[in-house]
Structure 1
Amino acid sequence: MQAENRTYAQAIECLNSLQTNASILKTVSKSNNCHLTALPEMREFCQKLGYEARDFDSLNIIHITGTKGKGSTCALVESILRNFYSSRKESMTNKIRTGLFTSPHLVAVQERIRLDGTMLSEEEFTNYFFECWDKLKLNDIKQGDDDKRIKPYYFRFTTLMAFYVFMKEKVDVAIMEVGIGGEYDSTNIIEKPTVCGVSSLGIDHQRYLGETVDLIAWHKGGIFKANAPAVTVDQPPIALDVLKKRAEYVNAPFIQVETHTEESLGNINIGLAGRHQLINVSLAIELCRIWLEKNRNIKFSNERVPQEFVPGLAKVRWPGRSQQLVLEKYPKITWFLDGAHTLESIQVCADWFNETAIAKKSVERILIFNCSADRSGSEMLKQLISKNSYIHFDHANFCTNVTFTTNQFKPDLQNNTIRIDKNLTLQKTLAEIWPTLISKSQTSDAHVFPTIQNAINWILEHCKESEREVQVLVTGSLHLVGGVMAVLEVDV
């Protein structure tokens, strides 16, 4: 394949070839060897790209982990720093060039790597992708080779590519979101971050991190480094104790921030919806304050929210999380998109939907839901329609995360790590449970669909026959939300 003829589609095809199928992933997750070799292998890959891990110290990294809100916190930090000088007297030559690495993506892989708030174009992504691909000599590894360790997995490759892009683009700050956990995460080759942050902790990824919040906190605290402030928010007491001990062990100054109220923020119009964002905003403000003091020698007064932070807080965008949309081609429908995928986050989603959705009889409400097989879908649904909720769903559509009725997945959304059950066992089970969860005084029809497009097509046809406005809540999985956005052709 000639370099000049390489396309974005070919880059995605190559990237997808690095995905581990579900059966292998399950076997690997039970082995401690993968943990022991993960970071040494990442360092070897970095060397093939021309860097030592210590070279990334020049990126002045903000490293962020957590269970809930870590992506939102990353987006807030990036927006605050990028817009910091917009309200100051200094010349815009002082503008902070930002790099942002997050996961997963919603619609297009380029979303994972952003420069100055903008995801890489397809051309930029393709060029950088194949530079990394060639340096790692991945074309030389043939299918069936015994030693799979010499080939980075999907997330490892995107992490390596992010470091590579940020070095080549000479960003002033790299905001790096942890994938899973922290201690053994691919991003944890970082040696001297400027500051580390831990968002709200809860139970998730138990297969990799453990069944209890203290075990999970141990993994998250693994990103702490000597002399780099370790900042967190209000946590369960046992988790907070673990984080403190992990910080003390590596000599990292430990800071727990107080959560802002709307009043203490001065009623700033935050660009992200939902009261839960106050926690993420509080963490982001402290991370940015520390970064600016260390890297720009800017000293702040005792004001809780520096005025220079306000533009970034107002302008931040983070699609697919507490996002409300009305599309011109479907004016009768309001789409509510939230990738909540844990018991805690689904309750937050329910609170947001109850506060945001218009509670009037003339509105029909439809749920689109899916979750991964290793999560308790029935418990998530119970949280969603708890007694505290005044919202009633007239219909519940349960579908897989397969995007389209034909050609199946959008290539960017191909996920080999999840086994697709063609018998729709999970979806049928959820549909059977649904009537038992709703109030006996109400009726709600459950429907099962093999793809996201099928579920949406049903809604569009149903709306043609209804004179009422329609509100659609999409939740349970970020992959589901991304698939819905792909089918609706929503920009991210």
Structure 2
Amino acid sequence: MQVENRTYAQAVECLNSLQTNAAIIEAINKAGGGINSRSLPEMREFCRKIGYEPRDFDSLNIIHVTGTKGKGSTCALVESILRNFYSSRKESMTNKIRTGLFTSPHLVAVRERIRLNGSMLSEEQFAKYFFECWDRLELNNLQHNFVEQLKPNYFRFLTLMAFHVFMREKVDVAIMEVGIGGEYDSTNIIEKPTVCGISSLGIDHQRYLGETIDLIAWHKGGIFKANVPAVTVDQPSIALDVLKKRAKDVNAPFIQVETHTKESLGNINIGLAGQHQLINVSLAIELCRIWLEKHRNIKFDIERVPQEFVPGLVKVRWSGRTQQLVLEKYPKITWFLDGAHTIESIQACMNWFNETAISKVDESQKNKSESSPNIERILIFNCTANRNGSEMLKNLTSQNSYIHFDHANFCTNVTFTTNQFKPDLQNNTIRIDENLTWQKTLAEIWPTLMSRSQKSETHVFPTIQNAINWVLEHCKENEHEVQVLVTGSLHLVGGVMAVLEIDV
């Protein structure tokens, strides 16, 4: 069958077949497996099977980014700055920078993960490039008479496909976000990137990276390469020491950037909301400065933000992260979407929500940690059971916030009921608990975090669609303006966007 005759739906079906079953993942983890030193040799071999040597990707002038919090936002900022860099310059038509962006996870459609010039691949493009990679792997298996059809797992395949897309499209720069960690991540077959960046570090993915910040920093610092600038932001001191040592071990120039203030950025309105985004902006600016000096021979005054960076900072969009919107068909509801999924990022999310939603609250109410009489607030939350749900919920309660939630809805990350299934949102790596044990546990924890004078009703739902339907029905019954915060998981946010048919 010819590539051009196959569809996006067929590509997604094939891709989903590469997802590792949840039970297998659990068995591997119990045996002490998972991310390990075998990952990269295997990835390099898969790379060769589709026709590339890792050194071929040096031509992509890669910006490689890892971190715990903000790595996706940093990548989005870098891409927007570079794509819009020449918009105010005379030579814009001849020197425009063609960008490729690889990120994870996706919110609604898997093709969000691979973007060209800021736009995700079309369904036709995705199917074309997907089957080019798929068929090369199939042919290799046939040539070697493999009984078992050897293919990379879901994320590795998409990483290979991203490299293939960027090579075929001849992008000027590829911005590559690490999946998990760095040292053994499939993106780390990169040999000579232009610059490496590490966003804010915190505790996450302990099963794979370790329980302490120094172990996590070791993994993240694994992306550093000889003579390639290694750039990071303010970090916990023990993590910073580890990053410095990792940079020194490979002779990578180490740069720690200072965080810009709103004033030092000229009081511009950055396209990503939230005070915490200033950290990501600061990292992105330095990564772009280094890239432009090397590949466009443009020297910058490091004491100020280049004016050419401003269009990209203002125009950047990154769905599902500190995103606020009102939908025309539900005018009474303001949706606040943020995929925060660590204790630290949940705190940043609440800082943003306080800052954004507080304008709806009279100052007389502010110090009472109560809702305005005319505003009702609803939380929709889920996090994976291996994360510290109790601590995350503490950061969402009014004891740490000016905001009080009248209702807290806990649901799974299953998006639709079975008759409305969307293949892009299939996730075989998560075990489905039909008893909703984890959601019930979160619902039991929530009231214990309230003060005696506060009331917050809890609800448990089997799917995201059920939780959204409850909100919509509830809003029909009252005249209040409603604010809904969705957080705890990017998969949850993506599911909400799919149910509400919000464009990514």
Deviations 1:332-371 (A, max 9, x none): 1000000011101001111111110122320100000001
Question: Could you tell me which amino acid in structure 1 is paired with residue 208 of structure 2?
Answer: Y
Asked whether the equivalents of residues 60 and 193 of structure 1 are also in contact (C-alpha less than 8 Å), the reply is: yes
Per the alignment, residue 51 of structure 1 pairs with 52
Alpha-carbon distance in structure 1 between the residues aligned to 2:147 and 2:204:
32
- In structure 2, runs of 5+ residues without a counterpart are 362-371
Offset, 1:2 = 4.7
Q: Does 1:126 align with 2:138?
A: no
Query: Match for 1:72: what amino acid?
Result: S
Which amino acid is 1:453 matched to?
Q
The match for 1:94 is 95
Contact 2:74 2:284 in 1 (8 A): yes
Give the Å deviation of 1:390: 1.2
Give the AA of the match of 1:101. F
When structure 1 is superposed on structure 2, of 350-359 and 314-323 the one drifting more is: 350-359
Write the deviation string for residues 444-463 of structure 1: whole angstroms up to 9, x where unpaired. 11001100000000110111
> How far apart are residue 5 of structure 1 and its match?
3.0
Match of 1:326? 326
- Kindly state the Cα deviation for residue 386 of structure 1 after the two structures are TM-superposed: 5.0
1:211-290 equivalences in 2 (<5 Å) = 211-290=211-290
Q: The residue matched to 1:221 in structure 2 has which SS?
A: helix
Equivalent residue letter for 1:412: D
Unaligned segments of structure 1, at least 5 residues: none
Correspondence for 1:291: 291
Opposite residue 397 of structure 2, the aligned amino acid is I
1:471 aligns with 2:472: no
Residue matched to 2:310: 310
Worse overlay, 370-379 or 29-38: 29-38
Query: What is the match of residue 108 of structure 1?
Result: 109
Residue 409 of structure 1: how far off its partner (Å):
4.2
**Offset from partner CA, 1:408-431 (integer Å, 9 cap, x none):** 642111111110100000111111
Q: Offset of 1:182 from its aligned partner? A: 0.1
Structure 2 length-normalised TM: 0.94
- CA shift at 1:91, angstroms? 3.9
1:153 and 1:108 map into 2 onto residues whose CA distance is 18
Q: Distance in 1 between matches of 2:302 and 2:202?
A: 31
Q: 1:400 corresponds to which residue?
A: 412
- Aligned residue for 1:387, secondary structure, equals helix
CA displacement 1:132-188 (0-9 Å, x = unmatched) = 1001118968xxx9868x320000000000000000000000000000000000000
User: Mapping of 1:59-458 within 5 angstroms?
Assistant: 59-137=60-138, 150-357=150-357, 358-359=360-361, 360-385=372-397, 387-407=399-419, 409-458=421-470
Shift of 1:101: 0.1
Identify the range of structure 1 (433-442 vs 127-136) with the bigger mean alpha-carbon deviation. 433-442
Q: Quote the Cα distance in structure 2 between the aligned partners of 1:140 and 1:226.
A: 35
CA shift digits 1:76-115 (9 cap, x unpaired):
0000000000011224210000000000000000000000
Work out the CA distance in 2 between the residues paired with 1:343 and 1:283. Answer: 21
Shift of 1:22: 1.1
Task: State the Cα distance separating 1:36 from its structure 2 match.
Answer: 2.2
- What amino acid is aligned across from residue 106 of structure 2 in structure 1? H
The alpha carbon displacement at 1:442 in A equals 1.3
The answer on whether the counterparts of 1:292 and 1:298 sit within 8 Å (CA) in structure 2 is yes
- Out of 398-407 and 215-224, give the one that drifted further: 398-407
SS where residue 268 of structure 2 aligns?
Answer: coil
Letter paired with 1:115:
L
1:49 Cα offset (Å): 1.3
Letter in 2 for 1:98: T
- Cα shift readout 1:201-242 (whole Å, capped 9, x = no counterpart): 000000000000000000000000001100000000000000
| Cα distance in structure 2, aligned partners of 1:43 and 1:217 | 24
- The structural deviation recorded for 1:39 is 0.7
Question: What is the one-letter code of the residue matched to 1:167?
Answer: M
Post-superposition CA distance 1:9-33 (Å, at most 9, x none): 1111100000001121123334458
SS of residue matched to 2:334: strand
Q: Is the 8 A contact 1:99 1:171 kept in 2?
A: yes
Per-residue CA deviations over 1:376-432 (Å, capped at 9, x if unaligned) read: 212111111152311111111110011112336421111111101000001111112
**Equivalent residue of 2:191, what SS?**
coil
SS at match of 1:299: coil
Deviation at residue 41 of structure 1 after TM alignment: 1.1
C-alpha deviation, 1:48, in angstroms? 1.4
Residue 301 of structure 1 and its aligned partner are, at CA, apart by 1.8
Bigger drift between 416-425 and 22-31 goes to 22-31
- How big is each residue's C-alpha offset from its partner over 1:296-326, in whole Å with a ceiling of 9 and x where there is no partner? 1001123420000000000000000000010
RMSD: 1.5
Deviation digits for residues 242-261 of structure 1 (CA, Å, limit 9, x no counterpart):
00000000000000000001
**Aligned equivalents of 1:408 and 1:375: distance in 2?**
29
Distance 1:138 1:201 in 2: 41
The separation in 2 between residues aligned to 1:469 and 1:126, in whole angstroms, is: 43
> Which residue identity is paired with 1:52?
E
CA distance in structure 1 between the partners assigned to 2:195 and 2:451 by the alignment: 48
| 2:496 corresponding residue in structure 1 | 484
Q: 2-side partners of 1:26 and 1:241: how far apart?
A: 33
Contact (CA 8 Å) 2:49, 2:140: kept in 1 or not? Answer: no
Q: 1:350–1:385: 8 Å Cα contact kept in structure 2?
A: no
Distance between the aligned counterparts of 1:110 and 1:261, measured in 2?
34
TM normalised by structure 1 equals 0.97
Is 228-237 or 397-406 further displaced after alignment? 397-406
2:275–2:352 Cα contact (<8 Å) kept: yes
353-362 or 233-242, which deviates more: 353-362
Which residue of 1 is the match for residue 367 of structure 2?
none
Check whether the contact 1:106–1:478 (CA below 8 A) recurs between aligned residues.
Answer: yes
Following TM superposition, the consecutive aligned residue runs of length 4 or more in structure 1 with deviations greater than 4 angstroms are: 138-141, 145-148
